[in-house]
Amino acid sequence: PGQKKGSGESCACRFFTMAAALMNPRGAAAAQAAAPPTPVGDIDLGDIIDKKQCFCLNEDPAHPHTNLFMGDERLFLQSDSDEQLLVHIQFNEVVKLSAISFVGPEDESAPLTIKVFANRLNLGFSDVEDLKAEQVLDLTPADMLADSQTNLYAVKFTRVTSLTLFIEENNGDDVSKLSGLKFFGQTVAGTNMSEFKKVG
């Protein structure tokens, strides 16, 4: 009888251990499991980016921001004089943003803190130090994985024509690196910015 009781307790322990593991996954899988799914209807807005109007301050000329859109992790954006970068993204249409996908290295050069500003043109480093961002992102290694998405406060990004990303600090390296950048959301019907520019 004692052995049977012990076997039952052992099974129960294994059951609860497995249940706890399922409820508390770890690592990158945990981050993906915990992240809310991309809302239905949201798309990769890569085709909506006006790449000719995008630019980056403090980029290394040998590793420019244009590498972010190549889809090749061997190519990357790298900062020049210190770890900070200021990336400006211009859209062809008004968009509603829900998430950003960052792809970066698994080392100390990966961005740690990124401030996100919406619809602000010609920002410099002195400006972003003083202005309040729409959102401040504190990234983890899981956020740097190719299939991950970092969610935004959707209510603050409902009518976006441009986005400025201030990479304020990384994980301790002298320079920051980022090899991929994608935006997810929806276009706002009837707002093609190129048509507005032609009219103006």
What six digits make up the tokens of 88? 């400006």
Read off the pLDDT of residues 51-98 as tens digits, 9 standing for 90 and up: 999 999 999 999 999 999 998 889 999 999 999 999 999 999 999 999
Read off the pLDDT of residues 19-62 as tens digits, 9 standing for 90 and up: 444 444 333 344 444 444 555 679 999 999 999 999 999 999 99
- Cα-based distances in Å from 2 to 5, 7, 8, 11, 15: 5, 9, 10, 14, 20
The verdict on pTM exceeding 0.95 is no
Burial class (CB in 10 A: 0-12, 13-18, 19+), 83: buried
Count of positions (residues) in the chain: 200
Q: How far apart are CA 162 and CA 53, in angstroms?
A: 10
User: Is residue 181 a contact partner of residue 100, using CB atoms and an 8 Å limit?
Assistant: yes
